[in-house]
């Protein structure tokens, strides 16, 4: 049965909702202290899934629509970030952020991909991620106005660790110990295949929102 037709009692959902929102803040905060690039991206995904879990628990059409959008959007975004992290690892054989710096000088086009994917991860307009997050934040505010403070803090921390990740990998002085190979066509094709669906969904979001609205 649809949870929208037979919703669960609110008292049952309070502990789970608190856990989901607390998880958003804690995992986002962990990202700010990460030195391992892949761990940072992984914790970022956990943080976004906290938003999805909270949206599902509201059991409303807007909440479920937002959850569906964010799951698909972040699935593509997170996959692209892991792919970018792997292109760095293939050349440097380390995931430590302090060691791998200044890659913009060696791979300028790959740095552009980092910027685009990073902005998408931050849910910058007009990305489909923003639509999902706005629907979820609005739904949670309707459920309890206090949540706007917590989701707002979560959004700020997300922007902070995404900028931290971009600046640590792309800016600064490049290490002389690495002999960096040029980027390959397959890597740029892979990034295009991640960003293209995200761009197309901006044009027609009803492809994934029509199920619950």
pLDDT digit string (tens) for 26-54? 999 999 999 999 999 999 999 999 999 99
Task: Please answer whether residues 88 and 100 qualify as being in contact, where contact means their C-beta atoms are separated by less than 8 angstroms.
Answer: yes
Q: Is residue 20 part of a domain?
A: yes
Check residue 107 and give its pLDDT: 85
Q: Which domain holds residue 202?
A: 10-209
Is residue 5 situated within a structural domain? no
Percentage of the chain surpassing pLDDT 70? 93
Q: How many C-beta atoms surround the C-beta of residue 119 within 10 A?
A: 18
- Would 1 be classed as within a structural domain? no
State the burial class of residue 13 (Cβ atoms within 10 Å of its Cβ: 0-12, 13-18, 19+). Answer: middle
Average of per-residue pLDDT across 121-144: 93
Average pLDDT over residues 131-152: 93
Indicate the pTM of the whole model: 0.89
* Domains: count for the chain: 1
Whether the Cβ atoms of residue 207 and residue 198 lie closer than 8 Å to each other = no
154-202: per-residue pLDDT in tens? 999 999 999 999 999 888 777 767 777 788 889 999 999 999 999 999 9
Residue 4 lies in a domain: no
pLDDT recorded at residue 1: 33
Q: Tell me the mean pLDDT in the region 106-114.
A: 89
Is 79 a member of any domain?
yes
């Amino acid at each position: 049965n649809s949870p929208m037709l037979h919703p669960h009692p609110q008292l049952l959902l309070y502990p789970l909702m608190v856990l989901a929102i607390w998880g958003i803040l804690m995992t986002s905060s962990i990202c700010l202290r990460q030195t391992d690039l892949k761990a940072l991206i992984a914790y970022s995904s956990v943080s976004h899934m906290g938003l999805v879990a909270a949206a599902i628990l509201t059991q409303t059409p807007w909440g479920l629509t937002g959850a569906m959008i964010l799951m698909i959007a972040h699935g593509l975004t997170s996959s692209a970030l892991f792919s970018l992290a792997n292109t760095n690892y293939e050349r440097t054989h380390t995931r430590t952020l302090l060691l791998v710096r200044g890659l913009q000088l060696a791979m300028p086009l790959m740095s552009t991909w980092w910027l685009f994917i990073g902005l998408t991860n931050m849910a910058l307009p007009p990305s489909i991620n923003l639509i999902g997050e706005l629907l979820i934040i609005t739904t949670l505010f309707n459920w309890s106005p206090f949540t706007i403070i917590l989701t707002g803090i979560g959004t700020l921390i997300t922007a902070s660790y995404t900028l931290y990740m971009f600046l640590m990998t792309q800016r600064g002085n490049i290490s002389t110990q690495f002999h960096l190979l040029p980027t390959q066509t397959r890597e740029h094709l892979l990034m295009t295949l991640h960003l293209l669906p995200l761009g197309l969904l901006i044009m027609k979001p009803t492809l994934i929102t029509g199920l619950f609205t």
